[in-house]
Amino acid sequence: MNINSYQIPLPKPGNPRGEDVILYKNNVIGVIDGVGGSSIRDGPKWKWKLCMDVIREFIKKIDTKLYLPFAVSSVIKKIDTSLQGTFTCAIIQFNKKYATILVIGDSQLLIVRDNELYYKSKITRDNCNIPSQIGILDRRVIDIFDNDIVLHNLLLKRDDKIIMYTDGVLDNISIDDILNSNTAKEVCYKSFISGKKKDDITCVIVNVK
């Protein structure tokens, strides 16, 4: 695999790196978007660890997305719930020629195959039209239901192009703009120049070899 990633953070007082995090560990790659309310000092580190721990637990029972709430609960019990924060995510786990895709909220994942858009994850929102999210708010676990989760197992092909990004991209440029970009840096700069919405901007592109 060939991987390239890029971020343009929206600095905040005490948090110059913004709230987006790139997840890259072993065979798991993705983007995490902090929705808000995170500890300024530990926010990015906490979101990365929580998301990685949840995914690790979830993958053990990947046959059913109903397991996700239990995975979250078991992880939350082991961490300091005084670290507040929730996030959306678009994550892919590679297992030889197969991939497991997990998307929550308005982060998104695309797969381009033979120069055509082969797969586009849907955006999930709650009944109040707020993007689905996962994490801790007011010291309690945010409830996750079936409709909040996008989960797919796919067979990958050589030369597939996988594009993951946070809503700082999606809110600023179109899918066509993303597909017509060659690198994650180009996607991010197009989003930044658009200027429609100020936000952290993060993109990861994986080329399957």
Q: How do residues 4-29 score in pLDDT, each as one tens digit? A: 999 999 887 766 778 888 888 778 89
Of residues 151, 104, 152, the one with CA closest to residue 130? 104
Domain range holding 106? 2-207
Beta bridge partners of 205: 4, 163
CATH number for the domain harbouring residue 135 = 3.60.40.10
Q: Give the pLDDT of residue 93.
A: 84
Which pLDDT score, from 0 to 100, does residue 144 have?
58
Q: What is the rounded distance in angstroms from the CA atom of residue 190 to the CA atom of residue 181?
A: 9
pLDDT value at residue 86: 76
**Residues with Cβ < 8 Å from 14, sequence gap 6 or more?**
40, 41
What is the reported pLDDT for 146? Answer: 54
User: Residue 89 has what pLDDT?
Assistant: 87
Number of domains making up the chain: 1
Q: How many CA atoms lie within 13 A of 84 on its CB side?
A: 7
CB-hemisphere CA count at 13 Å for 140? 4
For 143-171, the pLDDT digits (tens) are: 555 566 777 888 999 999 999 999 999 99
pLDDT at 8: 96
CA distances from 58 to 53, 66, 75 (A): 8, 10, 10
Average confidence (pLDDT) per 10 residues, the chain, 209 residues: 94 76 84 64 57 64 54 61 73 85 91 96 82 70 61 89 96 97 97 94 96
DSSP symbols for 48-75: HHHHHHHHHHHHHTTT-GGGHHHHHHHH
Its sign, for the CA torsion 108, 87, 37, 10, is negative
Check residue 147 and report its DSSP letter. Answer: G
Torsion on CA atoms 175, 112, 166, 30, rounded to nearest 10: 180
